[in-house]
């Protein structure tokens, strides 16, 4: 994206901007109208408001010349700015301007909602929201700009509300509370956000907090606007009071061992040395915290689950698994949210969930004390995200996966997972695509594996494509799925 208005003005794709006040106003006006001509009067009005000097038009021309020079410095074609008797404009394609990309992504998210594809919708909404770097065109004082920027900020909030609605329907109340609390603080008049926070709180069993959020809002509306909350919010309040917002996921403590590991894959291939080494280090050398890093799709999660499953007998009381979202389009889980989810897996009911991080961590340590438990922390973002979650007992094993090498943890044995070796890669391809076909064309199979960079994810994709096309020959199959081009599921 060459131009950014969803935050401070940015041009050229990086952090660069335009510094002179008038130039900023002019460029911002042109970008707000991206593609269309802005009449000179409007620009004059935006720059000088009620008091334009007699030389305004000439000065405007100087601004545009300066902008063109700035464009050249940033390797943007100066003729991107169009001059016309009717006014000025910026020539952009839809992917040039962040606000355009935002609008299109939101459109796709809404279509996904309409088609009932909520997971997809949630991801698209999040991708759209992630384009924002701060209030639109922050720091440009012109009244015309402020008015238009505010409209953009409003759109962002509306999209946030739509996104939260989808995520609430997906049962993600617990993960949303922090973000919603912050947003309600910043935008106390948005009733829909407030209602969503009340819903999220009550659906994890925090009715008292949900009611407090309502009371605060009510006081705020009365003091600021002299009005009562709207009908919808009032009705929600009644439902929280009546306790009829059934608590999704309220449960009693499970009896017996807790198992939340995903099922290990049946066609786990290769990695025998790595497995043997990890198991030995854990069983004999007493490794308690094992870090596994490696590139996307290299098989970190698969390996961690495989090791965990193999060692499950040694940790019979609990086998926990959590995706910390370190590398997805969503925000990484905060330690506060992550520890709550882990406590929930251990059977701590929502109404017993402490409010703040410290109390949750204390409970986490108490719950784990004396348990022989193993915990997989998948997709860690940073050392700071996982450090608080590490139990101190010696009866627990923690396996952490991350695309980055986590530095700064006091404990933890690092291990970098490479791609498969050539033989393993071909073996996996054979398992997915069919052994006969691969053995019939050994050289072609080796070439496919090589083109996949021996990356398990890429090989699985190439193999699955072959498996679906029984008439393809391995040699001519389109296996070019380099990591650069494929979209990795996280
Ligand atoms: N040893 C293996 N044997 C068979 N399949 C494997 C193996 N390792 C990985 N795979 C397959 O490769 C794909 C990617 O693996 P996985 O999700 O574990 O990668 P990852 O490193 O965790 O990726 P990400 O960084 O995106 O989380 C999966 O489809 C998985 O089934
Ligand atoms: Mg993974």
Ordered domains of the chain (ranges, CATH): 1-168 (1.10.10.10), 171-250 (1.25.40.10), 258-416 (3.40.50.300), 422-476 (no CATH)
| 472 Cβ inside 6 Å of ligand 1 | no
Average pLDDT, integer, range 99-121: 92
> Which token pair is 316?
């019979």
pLDDT at 482: 42
Tens digit of each residue's pLDDT (9 = 90 or more) over 206-230: 888 999 999 999 999 998 888 889 8
Residue of minimum CA distance from atom 28 in ligand 1: 457
For the chain, the first-to-last Cα distance in angstroms comes to 24
CA of 267, closest atom in ligand 1: 4
The phi, psi pair for 280, rounded to 5°, reads -60, -45
Residue of minimum CA distance from atom 23 in ligand 1: 297
pLDDT at 450: 96
Distance CA(477)–CA(473), nearest Å, equals: 6
Average pLDDT, integer, range 73-78: 90
| 196 Cβ inside 6 Å of ligand 1 | no
> Which token pair is 267?
């066609």
Residue 29: which pLDDT band, with cuts at 50, 70 and 90?
A: very high
Nearest ligand to the C-alpha atom of residue 489: 1
| d(CA 119, ligand 1 centre) in Å | 21
Of the candidates 268, 270, 273, which has an alpha carbon nearest to the alpha carbon of residue 421?
270
CA of 428, closest atom in ligand 1: 4
Pocket test for ligand 1, best of 266, 267, 273, 299 (most atoms within 8 A of CB): 299
Question: CB neighbours of 201 closer than 8 A, spacing ≥ 6?
Answer: 173, 177, 207, 209, 210, 213
Average pLDDT, integer, range 67-85: 92
Residue 244: which pLDDT band, with cuts at 50, 70 and 90?
A: low
Tens digit of each residue's pLDDT (9 = 90 or more) over 405-441: 998 888 899 999 999 999 999 999 999 999 999 999 9
CA of 459, closest atom in ligand 1: 12
| 464 Cβ inside 6 Å of ligand 1 | no
Average pLDDT, integer, range 441-463: 95
Residue of minimum CA distance from atom 15 in ligand 1: 299
pLDDT at 374 over 50: yes
pLDDT at 490 over 70: no
Q: Which pTM does this prediction carry? A: 0.53
Q: Would you say 417 and 300 are in contact if contact means Cβ atoms under 8 Å apart? A: yes
Distance CA(79)–CA(71), nearest Å, equals: 9
Percent of the chain residues topping a pLDDT of 90: 63
CA of 431, closest atom in ligand 1: 4
Distance CA(250)–CA(189), nearest Å, equals: 31
pLDDT at 489: 38
């Amino acid at each position: 994206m060459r131009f950014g208005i969803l935050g401070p003005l940015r041009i050229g794709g990086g952090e660069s901007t335009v510094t002179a006040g008038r130039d900023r106003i002019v460029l911002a006006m042109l970008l707000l109208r991206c593609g269309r001509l802005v009449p000179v009067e409007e620009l004059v009005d935006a720059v000088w408001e009620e008091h334009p000097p007699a030389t305004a038009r000439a000065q405007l021309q100087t601004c545009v010349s300066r902008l063109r020079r700035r464009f050249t410095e940033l390797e943007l074609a100066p003729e991107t700015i169009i001059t016309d008797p009717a006014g000025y404009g910026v020539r952009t394609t839809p992917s040039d301007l962040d606000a355009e990309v935002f609008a299109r992504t939101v459109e796709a998210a809404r279509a996904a909602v309409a088609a009932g594809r909520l997971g997809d919708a949630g991801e698209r909404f999040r991708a759209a929201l992630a384009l924002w770097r701060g209030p639109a065109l922050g720091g440009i004082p012109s009244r015309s700009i402020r008015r238009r920027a505010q409209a953009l900020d409003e759109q962002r909030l509306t999209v946030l509300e739509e996104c939260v609605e989808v995520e609430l329907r997906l049962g993600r109340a617990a993960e949303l509370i922090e973000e919603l609390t912050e947003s309600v603080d910043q935008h106390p008049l948005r009733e829909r956000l407030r209602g969503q926070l009340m819903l999220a709180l009550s659906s994890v069993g925090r009715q008292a907090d949900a009611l407090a959020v309502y009371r605060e809002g009510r006081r705020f509306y009365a003091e600021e606007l002299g009005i009562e909350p709207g009908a919808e919010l009032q009705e929600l309040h009644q439902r929280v009071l009546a306790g009829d917002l059934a608590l999704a996921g309220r449960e009693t403590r499970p009896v017996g061992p807790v198992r939340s590991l995903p099922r290990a894959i049946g066609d786990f291939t290769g990695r025998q040395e790595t497995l043997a080494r990890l198991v030995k280090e854990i069983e004999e050398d007493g490794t308690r915290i094992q870090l596994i890093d490696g590139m996307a799709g290299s098989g970190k999660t698969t390996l961690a689950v495989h090791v965990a499953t193999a060692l499950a007998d040694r940790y019979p009381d609990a086998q926990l698994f959590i995706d910390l979202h370190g590398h997805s389009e969503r925000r990484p889980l905060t330690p506060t949210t992550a520890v709550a989810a882990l406590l929930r897996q251990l059977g701590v009911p929502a109404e017993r969930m402490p409010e703040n991080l410290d109390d949750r961590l204390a409970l986490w340590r108490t719950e784990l004390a004396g348990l022989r438990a193993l915990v997989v922390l998948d997709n860690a973002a940073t050392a700071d995200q996982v450090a608080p979650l590490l139990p101190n007992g010696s009866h627990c094993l923690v396996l952490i996966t991350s695309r980055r090498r986590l530095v700064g943890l006091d404990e933890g044995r690092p291990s970098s997972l490479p791609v498969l070796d050539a033989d393993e890669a071909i073996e996996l391809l054979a398992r997915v695509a069919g052994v006969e076909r691969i053995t019939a064309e050994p050289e072609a199979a080796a070439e496919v594996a090589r083109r996949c960079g021996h990356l398990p994810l890429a090989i699985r994709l190439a193999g699955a494509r072959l498996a679906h096309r029984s008439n393809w020959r391995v040699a001519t199959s389109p296996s070019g799925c380099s990591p650069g081009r494929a979209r990795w599921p996280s």
